[in-house]
Amino acid sequence: MEEYQVIIVGAGPAGASCAKALRSEGIDALIIEKDEVPRHKICSGILFGQTQVLLEQYFGKLPPKEMYCEPKIIKAASILEWKRNKDFSSYLWEIPKNGHVFPEEYLNVWRKDFDAWLLNETGAPYKDNCMFTGCSLHNSTLKLEVSLKNKEKQVLHCSYLVGADGVNSPVKKALNGTSDQGGNEVVIYQTYYRFSDMGNLKDAHWYVFFEPQIGDILSCVHRKDELLTLCVGGFKGRNLKESMELFKNFLAETFHVVLGDRERGEGCIIRQAPPFLGKGQVLLTGEAAGMMYLNGEGISAALDSGYQAGLAIAQGIKKGDDVLELYRSKTEEIVNHVQLCSRKLHFFA
């Protein structure tokens, strides 16, 4: 029988951070991931100031140089919102937390490599191509059902389960019968294009546009090595491939950007929903718990909530304390900041 003290579903920043905390406390943990590692994941791949602080605090370092794209740094002052007939103004993507002001030089990384590096830094064992399909409780032991790439079914056992598996969390669905906790939901579509000319756009900048004919939320563009990353989004029902074509035309006509071949595209869902931390022996963290900061920034909240989940479980195992109550206490500041960011949201067109 394959048994662990803790099983973490999801190998992103929340899952890795949780595993790092558990391993530092000597707790046995397994990470399972439905995709093959390393895997592409839709994200701007920008490490904001708070993310950098948390990486130093929890992992003792920032990512190595091979993780970075050019331009390596995008300054907070170089994230600009364009308004018709008003040119550009600063766009705020991070605010102080409890009075703490974070570094304003943001790091431009390849998200696929960053997540794989975080996972490796945990020192925890993991199974990729391993999809969580359900769980049940038997005499205080959780029985997990998983499906492997070859369709083989396996059963794993643990004392605690952590859902670090994103906004449409299967772990949350197993708890509640649904992964939907309400809130605004938008679909994001991101595409990478080669380019021959950035036109009037400056390098080492990140540009944000609110054009309702293109999308229901912000559209944005910035450079990653030889590619321009274009992002659009909308409520369910909007044709985002059509939105992407409109955005490409907008950039060409308004700013003389010359795009070349499409490298790849990817999509995801973002939901602004009230935080939900879990139930019983199951904790939720990162986007699965509704942890998201200003205008959809999720890595900082994932790292912090994941680490606090790990510490709560470790303390519960060692001292017999109520793990969910510990987790609520440890994430109070995070939840408060999530709520503050929600009130200051500037995301929808």
For residue 252, what pLDDT is reported? 98
Residue 271 · residue 342 · CB < 8 Å? no
Is residue 207 within 8 A of residue 201, CB to CB? The reply is yes
pLDDT tens, the chain, 349 aa long: 799 999 999 999 999 999 999 999 999 899 999 999 998 887 778 999 999 999 999 999 999 999 999 999 999 999 999 999 888 999 999 999 999 999 999 999 999 999 999 999 999 999 999 999 999 999 999 999 999 988 899 999 999 999 999 999 999 999 987 655 566 789 999 999 999 999 999 999 999 999 999 999 999 999 999 999 999 999 989 999 999 999 999 999 999 999 999 999 999 888 878 899 999 999 999 999 999 999 999 999 999 999 999 999 999 999 999 999 999 999 999 999 999 999 999 999 9
Before 64, cis peptide (omega within 30)? no
Contact 203, 220 (CB under 8 A): no
Task: State the CATH class of domain 2-74+107-182+273-343.
Answer: alpha beta
CA distance 290 to 270: 10
Residue ranges per structural domain of the chain: 2-74+107-182+273-343, 184-271
Q: What local confidence, expressed as pLDDT, does residue 180 receive?
A: 58
pTM beyond 0.85, yes or no: yes
Q: For the chain, list the strands marked E by DSSP.
A: 2-9, 29-32, 46-47, 68-75, 79-83, 87-90, 105-109, 126-127, 130-138, 141-148, 153-163, 184-197, 206-209, 219-224, 227-234, 258-272, 278-279, 282-284
Instruction: Say what the pLDDT of residue 61 is.
Output: 98
Look up the CATH number of domain 184-271.
3.30.70
Count of helices and strands (H, E) across the chain: 8, 18
* 333 closest CA partner among 296, 294, 305, 297: 305
Give the number of C-alpha atoms closer than 13 A to the C-alpha of residue 297, restricted to the C-beta side: 25
Q: Helices 299-319 and 332-343, interaxial angle, to 10°?
A: 160
pLDDT of residue 114: 96
Nearest-angstrom CA–CA distance, 33 and 254: 42
Sign of CA dihedral 271, 274, 275, 278: negative
DSSP symbol at 348: B
In angstroms, rounded to a whole number, what is the distance separating the alpha carbons of residues 41 and 115?
9
What does the pLDDT read at residue 179?
53
Task: Look at residue 179 and give its three-state secondary structure.
Answer: coil
- Tokens 């756009």 appear where? 201
Residue 85 has what pLDDT? 85
Whether 184-271 and 2-74+107-182+273-343 are alike in CATH topology: the answer is no
Which three-class secondary structure string do you get for 206-274?
A: EEEECCCCCCCECEEEEEECCEEEEEEEECCCCCHHHHHHHHHHHHHHHHCCEEEEEEEEEEEEEEECC
Over the stretch 2-26, which tens digit does the pLDDT of each residue have?
999 999 999 999 999 999 999 999 9
Tokens of 267: 């999509």
